[in-house]
Amino acid sequence: MESATGLLLYATAVLTLGGIYAILALGLNIQWGFTGLFNLGIAGFFAVGAYSSAILTARPSPEHFGGFGLPMPLGLLAAALLAGLLAWPIGRLTLRLKADYLAIATIGIAEILRLVLKNEQGLTNGAVGISHIPRPFESLPRPYDELAFLGMVAGIVLVLYWALERARRAPWGRIMRAIRDNEASAEAAGKNAMAFKLEAFVFGSMIMGLGGGVYAHYVKFISPEAFEPLMSTFIVWVMLVAGGSGNNRGAIAGALAIWAIWSMTEILTSQLSADWTTRAAYLRVFLIGLFLQIILQRAPHGMFREVPPPPPEPSSPRQPESRSADT
């Protein structure tokens, strides 16, 4: 009985965090998969979302700003909005330039943000972090509180999936793909590429902010350490590439699969002696980097290839169908 509950709780935890990562991956999919935008600062939007929701919903505390005790849905809304607000100026500045510039700018923003989070004691309580973030369904008995939260995450993922699938099939999605595959001809066809790319970048970032908010309520305690690039940016990229960029199902599947593997390797290494456990932690990072190389070389399309939706009815304007190409 004990171990069965333990197993259930463990599985729930893996699925919940996997689901949160799925939210991040779906956000990245809008930016990269749909539109070809190279965001390497996921950690930044993730952090803004988490801290926004935490500050708004936590109890008042002398240690940090806010603590307005607002209900969680408002916190999540703020998380998304503030992340989008952060994305907008970055996008405006760099989207008209080569992809590399967005990459460097987003890396920079994420790092600067972490600096601010670590140092602005008054705002964020610095390196100590914000604790006692309220979690919904807390009052329920184990394991139902965990299951309920998982249900909420699953619900969010499904709603996002549904919305993004609709967007993908809609003219909006087509235009994004056209811009991704050949910006010059999309512009020639009269589409304002910059405006569309900015939209995609901001929406994707808002979803990442939402993910951050959900994360904050799940773990109930956040600090700048939680938002370092490996676990908040790199791993999401691996998830999307492995799952299949351009494909929403791929984003979700990649997130769950990679997170499951990562969690299980954590169990394996925790069985080792203390000395080996720390070394093994670095080994795991090495292996996930290696894993990415292997996927890029052997299976760049990931588990789920991008499937362009069927061409529109003759009455709507024809857009050129494009292949998901890595050439």
Print burial letters for 163-201: b (CB count within 10 Å at least 16), e (below 16): ebeebbeeeebbbbbbbbbebeebeeeebebeebbbbbb
What is the total count of residues that contact other proteins (CB under 8 A)? 43
Peptide bond into 143 cis (omega under 30): yes
Q: Considering beta carbons, is residue 75 or 244 the nearer one to other proteins?
A: 244
Q: Which of 7, 99, 140, 268 binds other proteins (CB under 8 A)?
A: 99
CB 199 within 8 A of CB 179: no
Closest CA to 160 of 76, 47, 54: 76
Near other proteins by CB under 8 A, which window of 48-56, 107-115, 166-174, 206-214? 107-115
Q: One symbol per residue from 25 to 64: x for binding other proteins (CB under 8 A), - otherwise; what is it?
A: -----------x-x-x------------------------
From the list 66-74, 165-173, 228-236, 259-267, the region that binds other proteins by CB under 8 A is: 228-236
CA distance 135 to 149: 8
User: For residues 298 and 310, which CB has a smaller minimum distance to other proteins in the complex?
Assistant: 298
Q: CA-CA distances (angstroms) from residue 60 to 13, 57, 70, 118?
A: 28, 9, 10, 20
Which lies closer to other proteins via its Cβ, residue 78 or residue 238?
238
19 binds other proteins (CB under 8 A): no
- When binding is defined by CB under 8 A, the residue of 23, 86, 241, 242 that contacts other proteins is 241
Q: Which of these ranges, 99-107, 199-207, 262-270, 304-312, lies near other proteins under the rule CB under 8 A?
A: 99-107
> Which contiguous run of DSSP H or E holds residue 249?
helix 248-270
Helix axes 235-243, 274-298, angle to 10 degrees: 40
What is the closest distance, in whole angstroms, from the C-beta atom of residue 283 to other proteins in the complex? 6
Shortest CB 269 distance to other proteins, Å: 13
How far out from the chain centre does Cα 297 lie?
24
Of residues 315 and 327, the one with the C-beta less far from other proteins: 327
Q: Which is nearer to other proteins, 25 or 241 (CB)?
A: 241
Residue that is written with structure tokens 């408002």 in the block? 74
Binds other proteins by CB under 8 A, chosen from 6, 7, 59, 104 = 104
Q: What are phi and psi of 105, to 5 degrees?
A: -60, -40
- Per the CB < 8 A criterion, the answer to whether 254 and 302 are in contact is yes
**Of positions 68, 100, 144, 277, contacts other proteins by CB under 8 A:** 100
**Cα–Cα distance for residue pair 279/229, rounded to 1 Å:** 19
- CA atoms in the 13 A half-sphere facing the CB of 81: 9
Q: Does 234 bind other proteins (CB under 8 A)?
A: yes
Q: Which of 158, 159, 163, 296 binds other proteins (CB under 8 A)?
A: 296
Q: Is 247 helix (H, G, I), strand (E, B) or coil?
A: coil
Could you give the CA distance from residue 72 to residue 83 in angstroms, rounded to a whole number? 16
Residue 92 CB, shortest distance to other proteins, in Å, is 10
Residue 127 sits in the site that holds other proteins (CB under 8 A): no
Interface characters, 260-279, with other proteins (x: CB under 8 A): ------------------xx
Task: Please give the residue ranges that form the binding site for other proteins (CB under 8 A).
Answer: 36, 38, 40, 93-94, 97-101, 103-105, 107-109, 111-112, 115, 119, 229-230, 234, 237-238, 241, 278-279, 282-283, 285-286, 288-290, 292-293, 296-297, 300, 325-327
